[in-house]
Amino acid sequence: MTTTTSSADQLPVLEARAVTKRFAGVTALDSVDFAVRPGESMALMGENGAGKSTLIKVLTGVYQPDDGDLLLSGASTRFAWPLDAQKAGVSTIYQEVNLIPLMSVAQNIFLGREPRNRIGLIDFRRMYTDARTLLDTYGIEVDVRRPLRSLALGIQQMVALARAVSINARVVIMDEPTSSLEAREVETLFSVVRLLRDQGIAIVYVSHRMDEIYRVCESVTVLRDGRVVQVGSLAEIPRVELVSLMLGRSVDRVQRSGATAFGATHSSDAPPVLVAADLSRKHQIDGIDIQIRPGEVVGLGGLLGSGRSETLKAMAGVMQLDRGSVTIDGKAVRSGSVPAAIRAGIVMLPEDRKVEGIVPNLSVRDNIVLAALPRLSRGGFTSRRNQDAVVDVFMKRLHIKASSPDQVVSELSGGNQQKVMIARWLAMNPKVLLLDEPTRGIDVGAKAEVQALIDELAGEGLAIVLVSSEVEEVVEGSARVIVLRDGSMGTELDGAEVTEQHLLAALAGAAEPMNSAPERPGEGR
């Protein structure tokens, strides 16, 4: 079946030309070109910090570009604020629906333009009929009199879509629309998206889920570090290449080693210290199995949104599980309790050091001993001598640079703050150390030190799980890599398989055939 929506020859309905946006000296978008044509569904992809959300905000009038132009159907335009973009027919559907939960479906659809009767009151009968007709077109069955919040999230999103389209939308931007939907709801959403596309509406689709992208979209724009690195038809870009483009790693380039300070990779034959089985939580992770041996560094790979951090949180007791178990040396650890996990010997270095890690107003000493404080106290009273014994050891061992243990931790550099965090956990004598992006946002020197420390700790028999968005860190640091995809188990790489090429392929889910042809309108339904 050949396509009817060959849109390449049409004028883009919305276009950004050489758009640049800076924030306090940081360039978020660097001369970015972006265009979407009527009836085209364009995937917008990129890892953290690539500039996707900035671009969306420029396209919808939330931000003004510092440089470059916006064009609407070829004519230069300017969105002074979001309402301008909406009036011009650019609608955005966010992952969280932004409608009014207590109003009925019909009221939400016609909010601000309700049909009136002769004396100027709202004509409810007509509003209900019109709303039903509109939703019927998209195959959405719902009682339009019900308050929006009584409906499933997927239906709410569909209502938001219907509202957007009924207000003359020409471009619909969808930001991670499926992140909180059930599988069945996703199907309905996709069929609506295809219908919209058939009507000549342009779709900009932002998602981290490879499968979805290849199913719904026909073209893709890949951003990295604020620049466009690729624009093209998805049919011509295999998954592996898409992933390498996003991560900035070339597939066939011979990998130099030694980009990190990791020495040996640590594997082990000892029986596993931690066994996590079937870790599951709705919308986040599903059936994750992990075993780690003492002295082993296991990498946890995956793209953004693959469930890496969630898996760590599940093991560390931060996240309540729907299903699954964690055991340490064969003993079950109570799920959803941080103290229980810590008592069992599982500790986690959180991803967001500033918000979840340090206590900014406390001293270096207080931060290091925070978790261990009860053990270093006698009868509820703190003991400076006991604390100093621990603090001195770790400040020396981890080379924490502070004027004194009394210095306020927020005055230290990011790298030293991270070392304080590591010290906090080592002071608990853990068995398993979960590291979530341990080297993010710290300078090169500190980064090498942290990597060397991971090596050293594994050498001493600590079991370590390493999550990092830097491919070389995972590859060089880990003896084994478990790759997660969309919250489920993907491939596992072991020994000689732990290479960048294998990891990239696994991240892309290339175990399946090169799935390239997006579904065409009318297919499958």
Partner 1 sequence: MTQGTLTFSLPRRGAALAVLQRYGVYIAIAVLLLYNLFFTPNFFALDNFRTQFVQVVPVLIVALGMALVIGTEGIDLSVGGVMALAAAVIPLYIGYGLIPVVILVILVGAFIGLVNGSLVALVGVQPIVATLSLMVAGRGLALLIANGQLKSVTDPGILAVGRGDLAGVPFSVIIAVILVFGVALLVNRTTFGKQLMAVGGSRRAAELSGLPVKRILLLTYVLCSSLAAVAGVIGTARLGASVPSTLGNLIELSAITAVVVGGTPLTGGQVRVIGTVAGALLLQFISATLIKHNVPDAYSQITQAVIILLAVYIQRGRTATK
Beta carbon of residue 351, minimum distance to partner 1 (angstroms, whole number): 11
Q: Is 225 exposed, middle or buried (0-12, 13-18, 19+ CB in 10 A)?
A: middle
List CB contacts of 440: < 8 A, sequence separation 6 or more: 351, 468, 469
Question: C-beta of 336: minimal distance to partner 1 in Å?
Answer: 12
Whether the Cβ atoms of residue 202 and residue 38 lie closer than 8 Å to each other: yes
Number of residues that bind partner 1 (CB under 8 A): 29
CB of 410 to partner 1, least distance (A): 7
Which CA distances in Å does 252 have to 205, 243, 381, 391?
29, 13, 60, 47
- The least distance separating partner 1 from the CB of residue 411, rounded to whole angstroms, comes to 8
DSSP 318: S
- Whole-number minimum distance, CB 482 to partner 1, in Å? 23
Which range binds partner 1 by CB under 8 A, 10-18, 233-241, 304-312, 335-343?
335-343
Q: Given candidates 424, 440, 447, 485, which one binds partner 1 under the rule CB under 8 A?
A: 424
- CB burial of 350-372 (b: ≥16 within 10 Å; e: otherwise) equals bbebeeebbeeeebbbbbbbebb
Which of 350/518 has CB closer to partner 1? 350
Residue number, 395 or 427, with CB nearest to partner 1: 427
Residue from 382, 413, 469, 488 touching partner 1 (CB under 8 A): that is 382
Shortest CB 103 distance to partner 1, Å: 26
Q: Amino acid identity, residue 199?
A: Q
Selected binder of partner 1 within 228, 276, 297, 342 (CB under 8 A): 342
Residue 91, H or E segment: strand 90-93
Residue list 196-235, contact with partner 1 (CB under 8 A): none
Q: Find the shortest distance in angstroms from Cβ 340 to partner 1.
A: 9
Q: How many residues does the chain have?
A: 525
The closest of 115, 35, 111 to 73, measured between CA atoms, is: 35
Burial 489-506 (b: 16+ CB within 10 A, else e): bbbebeeeebebbbbbbb
Q: Do 55 and 16 form a contact (C-beta atoms < 8 A)?
A: yes
Q: Report how far residue 217's alpha carbon sits from residue 19's, in angstroms, rounded to the nearest whole number.
A: 23
For residue 106, give the amino acid letter.
A
Q: What is the DSSP letter of 357?
A: I
- Match 């004028």 to its residue by tokens: 11
- Residue 24 touching partner 1 (CB under 8 A): no
Is 336 one of the binding residues for partner 1 (CB under 8 A)? no
Q: What is the CA radius of gyration of the chain?
A: 26
Decide: is 406 part of the binding site for partner 1 (CB under 8 A). Answer: yes
Q: Does 426 sit near partner 1 (CB under 8 A)?
A: no
- Residue in 150, 168, 410, 516 binding partner 1, rule: CB under 8 A: 410
* Candidate residues 169, 300, 341, 464; the one interacting with partner 1 per rule CB under 8 A: 341
How many Cβ atoms are within 10 Å of 189's Cβ, its own excluded?
24
Query: What is the footprint of partner 1 within residues 349-378 (CB under 8 A)?
Result: 350, 355-362, 366, 370-371, 373-374, 377
Q: Does 348 bind partner 1 (CB under 8 A)?
A: yes
> Which residue number, 36 or 348, has a Cβ lying nearer to partner 1?
348
Helical residues (DSSP H) of 218-361, grouped into ranges: 239-247, 308-315, 338-344
| Residue among 25, 119, 121, 381 that touches partner 1 (CB under 8 A) | 381
Candidates 91-99, 256-264, 279-287, 339-347 — which segment interacts with partner 1 by CB under 8 A? 339-347
**Footprint on this chain of partner 1 (rule: CB under 8 A):** 316, 318, 338-339, 341-342, 348, 350, 355-362, 366, 370-371, 373-374, 377, 380-382, 406, 410-411, 424
